[in-house]
């Protein structure tokens, strides 16, 4: 009997322990699901739903303050933290570096990403990196290469991501428009004026719009093999008003000729028939072309969408009294179409063209640029800038107080005022003065998060963003 009683007691204990284990697992899963869904118990023991902040910085390992208090959960950057919904001020600090801060609005159950904060070393080492006779410079998308132009047909290409800069000479005497070479001269003269430059994603091809002698030429320059460069204007005997690079190697381009949109195969040197007519503006993203066009019959403007290689056109918006500028972009998993007029920007979801947001502008933008990751749409006239922050869905209007500005990296803007280098986040926040005696007519860039480059009296200067 004693053995049977002990057996029954053991069985009961086993059953009870297994039930407790199952209940523990269920409760743990429920708590985890509760937390993952953004719910938490606040200091007043009330249940509140939170959002998730994901924050990175350059350099990594910056200390984080949330609302003026050191974070107990999130002590260093390059990690994530749940925060109660509502406004929070985030401040980043790191020894020997300056600080960075921003007030953000956390939405319950949603992720907010801060991937762009940059802190600058305060006592930076400076040196002269290269000296050359240069009248213009342009930097590749990866910011590792710089093309230096001058008044001759011998330009220079330099690799910025190296300690010892050694230029590569580019002999453009056979392909550079508005140039001449005297008999017996080894170097020709270049008398043209460069209006604009656009690098291809391969960081090798540069599309240059060059004016001279009352004309305009479009040159597709191959910096690694100059002999294979193409003067598109002469090759097709056409006066293009706009050209956009389609693919990574710049083999395919979209061009506007007499108000009509065509496609160019640069490798085969062929131009297509008319793809779209009456083009006022267009933008291209992943085979999609969004455009503004004028209807010949009504005289009204409309917004259309088509795919490259397709004859089908979807009219998204019709009967507009004035032309608008169009832009198409992707942020996270959603694609957006922006319609920019002289006093507003309207943002639509591409999939069904439902309006996402409307923002008023105080000026008529002349230039539009989409951030490298689609995180912002930046509109400007001179130094007056309006930035649509796609993460925050907030419009920032601000002024660099100069007539020109440039991109320091993929998310920071710079402007040189009174020879002082001013830098800003893409939304105008975190304004800092970095360097003095900086030339305002040449680009400033950061390479591999290691070097800050700018020009001073014709010489290329390098500052180290880390301790040597």
Lowest mean pLDDT among 2-16, 75-89, 190-204, 269-283: 2-16
pLDDT (tens digit per residue) in 411-442:
999 999 999 999 999 999 999 999 999 999 99
In a domain, 269, yes or no: no
| Any domain includes 296 | yes
Q: Using 50, 70 and 90 to split pLDDT, how confident is the model at 297? A: confident
Q: Is the pLDDT of residue 1 over 70?
A: no
- Which pairing describes strands 230-231 and 215-222: parallel, antiparallel, or unpaired? antiparallel
Nearest to 282 by CA among 294, 273, 272: 294
Q: What is the pLDDT of residue 54?
A: 92
The answer to whether 293 and 278 are in contact (CB under 8 A) is yes
Choose the final residue of a domain: 114, 137, 158: 114
Predicted pLDDT at 144: 97
Tell me if 29 is assigned to some domain: yes
Write out the E strands in 286-399: 288-294, 301-307, 313-320, 325-331, 334-340, 344-349, 354-360, 367-370, 376-381, 384-389, 394-399
Domain holding 286, by residue range, is 276-399
Residue where a domain stops, chosen among 376, 399, 422:
399
Instruction: Give the pLDDT confidence score for residue 40 in this predicted structure.
Output: 52
pLDDT one-digit tens code per residue, 149-160 = 999 999 999 999
Closest CA to 265 of 244, 279, 250, 248: 250
Does residue 199 form part of some domain?
A: no
114: confidence class by pLDDT, cuts 50, 70, 90: very high
**How many Cβ atoms from other residues are within 10 Å of residue 314's Cβ?**
11
Are 390 and 299 in a shared domain?
Answer: yes
pLDDT of residue 83: 87
- Please tell me the distance from the alpha carbon of residue 286 to that of residue 355, in angstroms, as a whole number: 21
Q: What is the mean pLDDT of the chain?
A: 90
The Cα-based distances of 312 to 44, 304, 315 in angstroms read: 59, 10, 10
Whether residues 24 and 79 share a domain: the answer is no
71 — pLDDT class (breaks 50, 70, 90): low
Residues 328/285, Cβ–Cβ less than 8 Å: yes
Residues 294 and 389 in one domain: yes
Position 28 scores a pLDDT of 63
Pairing of strands 406-407, 205-212: unpaired
CA-wise closest residue to 161 among 423, 445, 422 = 445
For the residues of 197-243, what is the DSSP string, one character each?
EEE-TTSSEEEEEEEETTEEEEEEEESS-GGG-EEHHHHHT---SEE
Tell me whether residue 314 is in a domain: yes
pLDDT of residue 448: 94
At 355, is the secondary structure helix, strand, or coil?
strand
CB 154 within 8 A of CB 167: no
Domain presence at residue 449: no
Read off the CATH number of the domain in which 94 is found: 2.60.40
Task: Categorize the per-residue pLDDT at 39 as very low, low, confident or very high, splitting at 50, 70 and 90.
Answer: low
Indicate the range of 22-31, 270-279, 357-366 predicted with least confidence: 22-31
Q: Work out the number of other CB atoms within 10 angstroms of the CB of residue 133.
A: 10
Query: In this structure, are residues 410 and 373 in contact, taking their beta carbons and an 8 Å threshold?
Result: yes
Residue 41 has pLDDT above 90, yes or no: no
When pLDDT is averaged across residues 376-380 and rounded to a whole number, the result is 96
Residue at 361 is within a domain: yes
Is there a contact between 389 and 395 (Cβ–Cβ < 8 Å)?
Answer: yes
Number of domains composing the chain: 3
């Amino acid at each position: 009997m004693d053995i049977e009683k002990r057996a029954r007691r053991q069985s009961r204990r086993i059953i009870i322990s297994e039930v407790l284990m199952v209940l523990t697992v269920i409760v743990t899963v429920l708590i985890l699901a509760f937390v993952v869904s953004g719910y938490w118990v606040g200091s007043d023991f009330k249940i509140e739903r939170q959002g998730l902040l994901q924050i990175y910085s350059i350099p990594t390992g910056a200390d984080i303050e949330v609302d003026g208090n050191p974070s107990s959960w999130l002590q260093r950057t390059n990690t994530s933290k749940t925060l109660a919904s509502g406004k929070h001020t985030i401040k980043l600090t790191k020894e020997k570096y300056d600080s960075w801060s921003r007030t953000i609005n956390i939405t319950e159950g949603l992720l907010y990403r801060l991937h762009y904060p940059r802190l600058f070393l305060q006592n930076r080492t400076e040196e002269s990196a290269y000296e050359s006779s240069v009248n213009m410079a342009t930097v590749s998308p990866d910011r590792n290469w710089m093309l230096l132009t001058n008044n001759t047909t011998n330009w220079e290409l330099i690799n910025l991501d190296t300690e010892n800069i050694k230029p590569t000479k580019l002999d453009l005497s056979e392909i550079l428009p508005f140039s001449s070479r005297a008999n017996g001269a080894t170097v020709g003269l270049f008398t043209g004026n460069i209006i604009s430059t656009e690098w291809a994603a391969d960081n090798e091809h540069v599309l240059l719009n060059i004016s001279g002698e009352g004309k305009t030429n479009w040159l597709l320059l191959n910096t690694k093999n100059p002999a294979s460069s193409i003067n598109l204007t002469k090759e097709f005997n056409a006066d293009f008003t706009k050209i956009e690079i389609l693919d990574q190697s710049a083999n395919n381009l979209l061009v506007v000729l007499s108000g009509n949109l065509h496609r160019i195969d640069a490798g085969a040197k062929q131009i297509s028939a008319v793809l779209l007519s009456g083009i006022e503006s267009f933008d291209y993203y992943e085979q999609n072309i969004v455009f503004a066009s004028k209807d010949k019959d009504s005289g009204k403007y409309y917004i259309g969408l088509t795919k490259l290689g397709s004859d089908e056109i979807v009219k998204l918006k019709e009967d507009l009294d004035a032309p608008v500028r169009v832009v198409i972009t992707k942020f996270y998993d959603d694609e957006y179409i922006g319609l920019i007029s002289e006093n507003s920007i309207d943002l639509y979801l591409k999939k069904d063209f439902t309006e996402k947001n409307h923002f008023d502008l105080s000026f008529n933008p002349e230039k539009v640029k989409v951030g490298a990751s689609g995180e912002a749409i930046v509109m400007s006239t001179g130094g007056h800038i309006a930035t649509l922050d796609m993460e925050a869905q907030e419009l920032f209007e601000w002024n660099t107080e100069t007539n020109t500005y440039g991109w320091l990296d993929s998310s920071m803007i710079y402007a040189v005022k009174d020879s002082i280098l001013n830098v800003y986040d893409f939304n105008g926040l975190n304004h800092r003065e970095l360097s003095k005696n900086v030339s305002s007519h040449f680009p400033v860039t950061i390479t591999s998060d290691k070097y800050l480059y700018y020009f001073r009296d014709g010489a290329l200067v390098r500052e180290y963003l880390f301790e040597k």
